[in-house]
Amino acid sequence: MPKQLVPQTHDVFDEYQKKPKEKLEFVEKEIDMGFFDNHYFQVKDGVVINNSCQRINKCSCNCNHCSWGVL
């Protein structure tokens, strides 16, 4: 069975979250983008979730693939 392609940082990020952090006074605002908890090319039951074409603002060929992204 192919391995799950979930990010390899889950545990590491949990550990990181628990650690005390120094606030950087010269940084006005910080955002965690959530990439550690999200999935890219995640495999579920042996198939990639984010499959097929992932065009970005280019879909113009009307081939319909971009619509997969809305399901």
Partner 1 sequence: MLIENEELFTIDYMEDDSKIILYAPLRSYLALIKKDISEKILSNYNSTQKEKFFQNLKSRPFLDMQNIIKELHQTNPELSLSITDNCSLRCVYCHASAGDDHKQKTMSTEMIDAILNKYFEYIKPTKVVRISFDGGGEPTYNYKILEYALEKAKELAKRKNIQCQFSMSTNGFYGEIIRKIITKEFSHISLSFDGPAHIHNLHRPTKNGQGSYSKVFETAKYFYKSNLSFAFRATVSDYSLPYLESIIDFFAENFPSKSLGLEHLNQLGRANNCTNVLPPNKKEFANRLIDLIKYSKDKPITILNSASTEYDIIRPVFCSNVGIPNWTVNIDGDITACNRDDVPDEFIFGKYDFQSNTLHFYENKLDQLKKMVVSNYTECKNCFCKYHCAGDCPDRRLTEKMDCDSIRLIGLSILNNRLNNKEVQYAQTISSPNTRRF
DSSP 8-state class, residue 68 = H
Q: How far is the CB of 22 from partner 1 (least distance, A)?
A: 7
Per-residue burial over 2-37, b if 16 or more Cβ lie within 10 Å, else e, is eeeeeeeeeeeeeeeeeeeeeeeeeeeeeeeeeeee
Q: Which of residues 5-64 bind partner 1 (CB under 8 A)?
A: 5, 7-9, 12-13, 16, 19, 21-22, 24, 26-36, 38-64
- Give the interface size with partner 1 as a residue count (CB under 8 A): 59
Binding site for partner 1 (CB under 8 A): 1-3, 5, 7-9, 12-13, 16, 19, 21-22, 24, 26-36, 38-71
